[in-house]
């Protein structure tokens, strides 16, 4: 049995955010004693009066869910009562699932997937989702057959990136995340707040990218195979905030983070720095000294091996590459502040490993 607890979305401020979001998308929201949640096919969305709702329900979540239905069933469903769906039989289960996948996809951009979860019998399906459009998360109700909801949800997500949906939903989700952060004293990703003078925009792990149109995301919030939760530059810093990576004060990628640096046979470093190249059959690698690349120089001017500690002498880098101009292509293509950079820093203990908690 599911334990009911008050929804963190149940505040006048957040309710107002979502009623205004619906209005921006062309819908008016009213309350009714006749239904839990419904649409009239004429631009009206009705949400049950408080007496009809459970303690874990919130107007914000219900409006968000109805807007996701509107996007999923658009355009024909906009002119039909309850978006043209039959909720008395199993006929439209796949479309309901598609709506939930879209809901998870949009809420994930701001770390709000958990707090925006449905409170109906579909909660188990929603909670079982991995990546919103992955076929490997929830077993389809058709006993292992491909989940038809995935393709429907992908089409809906494309519509959600267009007017009038994108601006209305983005602003409402961002405002909701900010309100929750303020009320809870936490970052929208669910982490404690970080340095008060810093923001996501000054953090090393903010980047623009992801599937589809490039948006601001957090690498610290990226799990295996994911792009990371969507954030905004102006959000306050979380406890995992880090300044932009200084390679000469880090050196993680040249240290213990990786065991092998492969080198292509035609890479100029093979003939320019032969003493640093090892051949293993048809493979070439950078030579290692202990657990480090042999080309690494620490703050005392020594090669790989000893771990540097303490501050570097004034004007001297903590770590450097003795063959920087001749370094292999693998090293030249390594992106500072990229996914592999964060992975390397996590492996040597310079960045937090755990995935961020959801609100």
Same domain, 31 and 127: yes
In a domain, residue 40? The reply is: yes
The closest alpha carbon to 127, from 109, 101, 151, belongs to 101
- The arithmetic mean of pLDDT across residues 328-355, rounded, is 88
221 shares a domain with 252:
no
Residue 63 pLDDT exceeds 70: yes
Q: How far apart are CA 324 and CA 273, in angstroms?
A: 11
Statement to judge: residues 41 and 120 lie in one domain = yes
Residue 277 lies in a domain: yes
Residue 144 has pLDDT above 80, yes or no: no
Q: Average of pLDDT values for 218-223?
A: 86
Output the pLDDT for position 230: 84
Region 294-319: mean pLDDT is: 61
Domain containing 113: what range?
12-160
Residue 328 lies in a domain: yes
Report which of 359, 68, 111 is spatially closest to residue 232, judged by C-alpha positions: 111
126 and 262 part of one domain: no
How many structural domains is the chain composed of?
3
Residue 2 lies in a domain: no
Same domain, 224 and 82: no
- Pairing between β-strand 44-48 and β-strand 28-32 as defined by DSSP bridges: parallel
pLDDT tens digit sequence for 5-30: 678 898 999 999 999 999 999 999 99
- 120 confidence band (pLDDT: 50, 70, 90): confident
Q: What is the mean pLDDT of the chain?
A: 85
Q: Indicate whether 132 and 225 sit together in one domain.
A: no
What is the residue whose two structure tokens read 């209305």?
Answer: 168
* 22 shares its domain with 151: yes
Is the pLDDT reported for residue 51 higher than 50?
yes
Between helix 59-73 and helix 165-184 the angle, nearest 10°, is: 160
d(CA 36, CA 33) in angstroms, rounded, equals 8
Exposure string over 125-152, b if 16+ CB within 10 A, otherwise e: bbeebebbbeeebbebeeeeeebbbbeb
Q: Based on the domain organization, do 205 and 100 belong to the same domain?
A: no
Q: What is the pLDDT of residue 251?
A: 92
Three-class secondary structure assignment of 171-184: HHHHHHHHHHHHHH
The pLDDT of 219-242, averaged and rounded, is 84
pLDDT, residue 135, reads: 62
Cβ atoms of residues 351 and 240 within 8 Å: yes
């Amino acid at each position: 049995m599911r334990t009911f607890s008050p929804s963190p979305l149940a505040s006048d401020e957040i309710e107002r955010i979502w009623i205004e979001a619906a209005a921006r998308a062309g819908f008016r929201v009213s309350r009714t004693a006749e239904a839990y949640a419904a649409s009239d096919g004429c631009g009206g969305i009705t949400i049950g009066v408080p007496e009809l709702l459970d303690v874990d329900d919130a107007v914000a979540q219900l409006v968000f869910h109805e807007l996701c239905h509107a996007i999923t069933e658009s355009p024909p469903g906009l002119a039909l009562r309850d978006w043209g769906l039959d909720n008395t039989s199993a006929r439209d289960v796949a479309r309901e699932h598609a709506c939930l996948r879209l809901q998870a996809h949009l809420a994930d951009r701001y770390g709000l997937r958990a707090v925006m979860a449905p409170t109906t019998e579909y909660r188990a399906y929603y909670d079982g989702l991995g990546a919103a459009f992955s076929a490997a998360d929830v077993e389809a109700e058709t006993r292992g057959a491909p989940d038809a909801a995935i393709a429907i949800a992908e089409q809906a997500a494309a519509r959600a990136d267009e007017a009038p949906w994108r601006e209305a939903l983005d602003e409402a989700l961002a405002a909701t995340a900010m309100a929750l952060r303020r009320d809870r004293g936490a970052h929208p990703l669910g982490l404690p707040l970080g340095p008060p003078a810093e923001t996501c925009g000054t953090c090393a792990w903010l980047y623009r990218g992801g599937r589809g149109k490039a948006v601001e995301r957090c690498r610290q919030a990226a799990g295996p195979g994911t792009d990371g939760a969507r954030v905004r530059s102006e959000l306050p810093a979380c406890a995992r905030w880090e300044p932009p990576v200084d390679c000469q004060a880090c050196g993680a990628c040249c240290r213990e983070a990786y065991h092998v640096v492969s080198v292509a046979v035609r890479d100029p470093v093979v003939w320019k720095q032969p003493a640093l190249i090892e051949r293993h059959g048809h493979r070439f690698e950078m030579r290692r000294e202990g657990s480090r690349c042999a080309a690494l120089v620490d703050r005392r001017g020594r090669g790989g091996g000893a771990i540097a500690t303490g501050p570097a002498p004034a004007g001297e880098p903590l770590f450097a590459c003795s063959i920087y101009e001749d370094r292999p292509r693998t090293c030249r293509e390594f992106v500072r502040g990229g996914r592999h950079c964060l992975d390397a820093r996590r492996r040597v203990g310079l960045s937090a490993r755990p995935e961020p908690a959801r609100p």
